[in-house]
A and B are shown apart, each in its own frame.
Chain A
Amino acid sequence: MGKMCLKAKNKGLRSFYSAFFICSTVMALWSYALQLEAKVTGNCSNCHTMHNSQNGAHMQYLAPDESDTKPKQSLLRGSCLGCHSKTDGSAWKDPLTGAPIVFNSQQPSYNAVMGLSAGNFYWVQTEDTTGHNIFASNPESTLNEAPGKSWGCSGTNSCHENIHGTTGPPYFGFDTSRQGCTKCHMVGSDSPKGYHHLDDTGPVVDSSAEGWFRFLDGHKSGSGFGVAGIEDDDWQYSASATDHNEYLGASGTKTSAGGFSAIGENTMTAYCTGCHGNFHIEDDLTTGSPWIRHPSDLIIPNSDEYASAFGASGATGTYNPLVPVARPTLSGWTGPSGTVTLGTDLVMCLSCHRAHASPYFKMLRWDYKSWPGNGQPNGCNVCHTSKN
């Protein structure tokens, strides 16, 4: 009886250890898989279809207002928006593919900023001034070229003229057509293929092998360059001082139209100025400062009113995801920092603007146009602390 009990007890222990080992292994693998979340994982059929047919039905993910159910290049099951959109306002990530949702056809309601880090194209549906208009079916009605355009191809539907139009190959340096999203993302190769399969586990994503930050790379004179950064694992669905993207910045000349080739750094500002270059002529070439436009990629001073920017004391403030800053280097970084170091970190394009769209005029991150009449805080005052 005692022997039997002992045996049973040993068996129980073995079972426990076995279960513990299996669980630990599964947990470890799952954790590893989570780390790879930015790189597309899962079944191929989540994104690709062999015959675009299943039980007699097409296999396409259709974005709101899309009706093209025909097969797509690379056997894809949808256009960019087909995979990255939802018809409700609550989804921020596709539950099957894990794709971030950048276009909700209903007002985003899943977080306070009503969008992911770059915002949400929902706002552009009815108001062009709130974002980059990517909609071929609802094109930009005011602008006829990128504001501040200093270079780039001209002509109808050039990427530098508009984002909604479709470029026809072989024009504009691409062998494949470009429309909407692919006029900004994945421009570093003729075909926007393959980026989703690159390993962007980072934590710092700063090479073409990793697909650059959010697939933002240069072409033509900017070939070989791309945006470097740390990609937040939920695209800032949730964001805090310690939970956010990180961006590279580079203080340098403010007298040129920027762009990767002129700036020579893998910064977000260099990327934006590829189309909006004139906005990067911020300093008077003949006499130097003061600024003639608001500077981008400028080190935030630790003096005067800026000494208390980001609530700083002693040159160290608290990172505010509403007003992101760029870092002069991301080398060796293992994750986002919760602090802003005055005299070191930089103001950049995305400090004020969201890349896709926002609820506000000129895709700003806060309702600047209505300030001060709206009685709400002005994001400008995060740096310009005494101008309130």
Chain B
Amino acid sequence: MQKDKCFNKKFQIVTLGSMLLALCFLYPDTVDSGPYLDSAHGKNTYGVSRTSISSFGYSVGNCVHCHEQHASIGGAEPNPTGGPDKYALFYNNHINQTDNVCFQCHTDLSSFQTGGLINRSYSYRAGGYADSLNDIKEAFSFISPATSHNLGNIKTFINGRWGFTNDSNPCAACHNPHAVKGDPANAPNSRKTSGTRGYSPVSRPSLHSKDNNAWGLWGDAAAERMNMYANSFGGIYQAPNAASGYEPDGSSTQDGSNLADFNTFCIDCHNNSNIIYSNQLLRNLRTFNWANENHGGYMATYCSQGATSLLAMPYDGLTKCGQYITACTDCHEPHGSPNNYLVRKQVNNGVVTVINNGNGTGPDGRAKKEWVWLCGKCHTNLNVGDLHTHPTGSGLGCGKCHPGGGNYRNCMDCHYHGNSSIDGTPYGKPLF
């Protein structure tokens, strides 16, 4: 009897276990969330939602908001019409600087995305700068003296590289549309905070692949952050000041462990070998090796005079000189800027205005010192009457910088990416 009871109990356990195991197999599959569904476009709460598609009741984040399988739903092409487009997109992949498929939604005015789309500048998001620029199309609409990343030049450059073709969208050089995340995520009118990080909207162009799993985000992993980049040179990254706290998220973190390694990202294109023509500059971009630049891996060693630090806070020119490596985004906007050369409107929590290629007046009112508006945000004593901060004993005569007495040469005559010579004479070390 006892044996029977025991058997019954075992039988019940085995039966119950079998049923539970069976449930594991029978229970309907749920959606397998991958990089697309986690992306800004694929999120079913705030992802893509074209007005003419959502009216059919398609879920937010559905492929059809961007890709029309037949260029027809219900017997007609959903708005915008115009026939099928490459990649089965609802609009021409790329037409010009302000007209491509991305801008049909990434604009706050007449957007096909339900409710329009707000996207802010890097200065706004990372620095807490209150500019009025509020969409991507606007950022790419800057014209001289303002600047925007030239999409036509990008398209030309990537054609034939890394799997891109003449049909590729230049935006896709930097962004994987099936993986991109907002940073901050779904908070377009807010600056980044440690709680709203999407961490990285970018994917490295050199890793481009049709396989969405292979072409992941860059900067989302801890190993893809600025502290790791600096560490690879034995240096450190110091986050600039933001409107509150430090860039990029206003937190107290200063070592770049919360910032994507934008250097490695940008260097895919901007390095010492790639020749990139600029329609705006009407010349090839300067080539440079960031590993050998003062602000990069060379890690400038001139930061003080005596007991005076020549660096502004939070940089420490007395105890950390020769260690600093900066990030491209410390100075440059990725999309567009009201300044020349994509220079940010706000750097180290100070406002920058460079619209005359350095020939304008500086903060001290002196002509051709316009770059001090930028450089002076981190380098002190650049105004008239301050310490003479350029190194002495370098063999340079006064006239090299001060032609005609108290006048100034444009800083950029010597200090530009990739330069290490003055008027053709090698200086012996990088000048940028």
- Chain A positions near chain B (C-beta within 8 angstroms): 129, 142-145, 147-148, 278-279, 281, 284, 287, 289-294, 304-305, 352, 361-362, 368-378, 380-381, 385-388
Are B30 and A375 in touch, CB under 8 angstroms? yes
Q: Which of A278, A361, A373 has the most CB of B within 10 A?
A: A373
Which of the segments B13-21, B81-89, B340-348 contacts the partner chain?
Answer: B81-89
CA distance A352 to B70 in the complex (A): 12
* Given A361-B56, A369-B56, A372-B59, A293:B70 Cβ within 8 A: yes
Are B212 and A387 in touch, CB under 8 angstroms? yes
- Confirm or deny: B52 has a beta carbon within 8 angstroms of a beta carbon on chain A: no
Contacts A143-B75, A289-B167, A304-B211 known; list 8 others, CB within 8 Å: A145-B75, A147-B74, A148-B72, A279-B70, A290-B165, A294-B70, A305-B212, A386-B36
Please, which residues of chain B bring their CB within 8 A of the CB of A385? 213
CA distance A369 to B57 in the complex (A): 7
CA distance A4 to B59 in the complex (A): 85
Are A386 and B74 in touch, CB under 8 angstroms? no
Name the CB-closest residue of A to B84.
Answer: A292
Please, which residues of chain A bring their CB within 8 A of the CB of B167? 287, 289-290
CA distance A368 to B70 in the complex (A): 14
- Confirm or deny: B301 has a beta carbon within 8 angstroms of a beta carbon on chain A: no
Name the CB-closest residue of B to A142.
Answer: B74
Q: Measured between C-beta atoms, what is the minimum distance from A308 to chain B in Å?
A: 9
Are B44 and A373 in touch, CB under 8 angstroms? yes
Are B72 and A147 in touch, CB under 8 angstroms? yes
Name the CB-closest residue of A to B167.
Answer: A290
The contact sample of 15 A-B pairs, CB cut-off 8 A, is A142-B75, A143-B74, A284-B86, A290-B167, A292-B86, A293-B70, A361-B57, A371-B31, A373-B44, A374-B59, A376-B31, A386-B211, A386-B212, A388-B32, A388-B34
Please, which residues of chain B bring their CB within 8 A of the CB of A370? 58-59
Question: Could you mark each residue 70-99 of chain B with 1 if its beta carbon is under 8 Å from any beta carbon of chain A, else 0?
Answer: 111111000000001111100000000000
- Confirm or deny: B338 has a beta carbon within 8 angstroms of a beta carbon on chain A: no
Question: Could you mark each residue 106-136 of chain B with 1 if its beta carbon is under 8 Å from any beta carbon of chain A, else 0?
Answer: 0000000000000000000000000000000
CA distance A310 to B261 in the complex (A): 36
- Confirm or deny: B5 has a beta carbon within 8 angstroms of a beta carbon on chain A: no
Please, which residues of chain A bring their CB within 8 A of the CB of B71? 292-293
Q: Which of B58, B69, B165 has the most CB of A within 10 A?
A: B69
CA distance A372 to B33 in the complex (A): 9
Are A376 and B69 in touch, CB under 8 angstroms? no
Please, which residues of chain A bring their CB within 8 A of the CB of B170? none
Identify which of B28, B36, B58 contacts A376 (C-beta below 8 A).
B28
Name the CB-closest residue of A to B76.
Answer: A147
- Confirm or deny: B312 has a beta carbon within 8 angstroms of a beta carbon on chain A: no
- Confirm or deny: B60 has a beta carbon within 8 angstroms of a beta carbon on chain A: yes
Q: Measured between C-beta atoms, what is the minimum distance from A387 to chain B in Å?
A: 5
Q: Measured between C-beta atoms, what is the minimum distance from A296 to chain B in Å?
A: 10
Q: Measured between C-beta atoms, what is the minimum distance from A364 to chain B in Å?
A: 10
Please, which residues of chain A bring their CB within 8 A of the CB of B86? 284, 290-292
Are B212 and A368 in touch, CB under 8 angstroms? no
CA distance A284 to B167 in the complex (A): 12
CA distance A362 to B78 in the complex (A): 15
Q: Measured between C-beta atoms, what is the minimum distance from A131 to chain B in Å?
A: 14
Number of residues from B at the complex interface, CB < 8 A: 43
Question: Could you mark each residue 320-344 of chain B with 1 if its beta carbon is under 8 Å from any beta carbon of chain A, else 0?
Answer: 0000000000000000000000000
Are B209 and A377 in touch, CB under 8 angstroms? no
Are B31 and A293 in touch, CB under 8 angstroms? no
Q: Measured between C-beta atoms, what is the minimum distance from B426 to chain A in Å?
A: 48
- Confirm or deny: B423 has a beta carbon within 8 angstroms of a beta carbon on chain A: no
CA distance A143 to B76 in the complex (A): 9
Are A377 and B31 in touch, CB under 8 angstroms? yes
Are B31 and A372 in touch, CB under 8 angstroms? yes
Please, which residues of chain B bring their CB within 8 A of the CB of A304? 209-211, 214
- Confirm or deny: B37 has a beta carbon within 8 angstroms of a beta carbon on chain A: yes
- Confirm or deny: B42 has a beta carbon within 8 angstroms of a beta carbon on chain A: yes
Q: Measured between C-beta atoms, what is the minimum distance from A126 to chain B in Å?
A: 15
- Confirm or deny: B61 has a beta carbon within 8 angstroms of a beta carbon on chain A: yes
- Confirm or deny: B178 has a beta carbon within 8 angstroms of a beta carbon on chain A: yes
Q: Measured between C-beta atoms, what is the minimum distance from A278 to chain B in Å?
A: 8
- Confirm or deny: B353 has a beta carbon within 8 angstroms of a beta carbon on chain A: no
CA distance A287 to B213 in the complex (A): 29
- Confirm or deny: B4 has a beta carbon within 8 angstroms of a beta carbon on chain A: no
* Given A142-B74, A373-B61, A378:B31 Cβ within 8 A: yes
Are A373 and B209 in touch, CB under 8 angstroms? no
Identify which of B37, B72, B74 contacts A279 (C-beta below 8 A).
B72
Are A387 and B30 in touch, CB under 8 angstroms? no
Q: Measured between C-beta atoms, what is the minimum distance from B373 to chain A in Å?
A: 45
Q: Which of B30, B42, B56, B63 has the most CB of A within 10 A?
A: B63
Identify which of B57, B70, B165 contacts A147 (C-beta below 8 A).
B70
- Confirm or deny: B264 has a beta carbon within 8 angstroms of a beta carbon on chain A: no
Name the CB-closest residue of A to B31.
Answer: A375
Question: Could you mark each residue 385-417 of chain B with 1 if its beta carbon is under 8 Å from any beta carbon of chain A, else 0?
Answer: 000000000000000000000000000000000
CA distance A129 to B60 in the complex (A): 20
Q: Which of A361, A375, A377 has the most CB of B within 10 A?
A: A375
Q: Which of A144, A294, A374 has the most CB of B within 10 A?
A: A294
- Confirm or deny: B203 has a beta carbon within 8 angstroms of a beta carbon on chain A: no
Are A377 and B32 in touch, CB under 8 angstroms? yes
Are B34 and A380 in touch, CB under 8 angstroms? no
Q: Measured between C-beta atoms, what is the minimum distance from B162 to chain A in Å?
A: 14
Are A293 and B59 in touch, CB under 8 angstroms? no
Are B62 and A372 in touch, CB under 8 angstroms? yes
Are B32 and A381 in touch, CB under 8 angstroms? yes
Identify which of A147, A369, A378, A387 contacts B75 (C-beta below 8 A).
A147
CA distance A388 to B36 in the complex (A): 5
CA distance A289 to B88 in the complex (A): 11
Are B34 and A294 in touch, CB under 8 angstroms? no
Are A372 and B44 in touch, CB under 8 angstroms? yes
Please, which residues of chain B bring their CB within 8 A of the CB of A386? 34-36, 178, 211-214
Are A294 and B211 in touch, CB under 8 angstroms? no
Are A372 and B42 in touch, CB under 8 angstroms? yes
Identify which of A148, A289, A292, A388 contacts B85 (C-beta below 8 A).
A292
Identify which of A373, A387, A388 contacts B60 (C-beta below 8 A).
A373
Interface residues in B194-235 by Cβ distance below 8 A to A read 209-214
Q: Measured between C-beta atoms, what is the minimum distance from B28 to chain A in Å?
A: 7
Please, which residues of chain A bring their CB within 8 A of the CB of B56? 361, 369
Are A305 and B210 in touch, CB under 8 angstroms? yes
Identify which of A287, A291, A305, A388 contacts B37 (C-beta below 8 A).
A388
Are A292 and B88 in touch, CB under 8 angstroms? yes
Name the CB-closest residue of B to A369.
Answer: B58
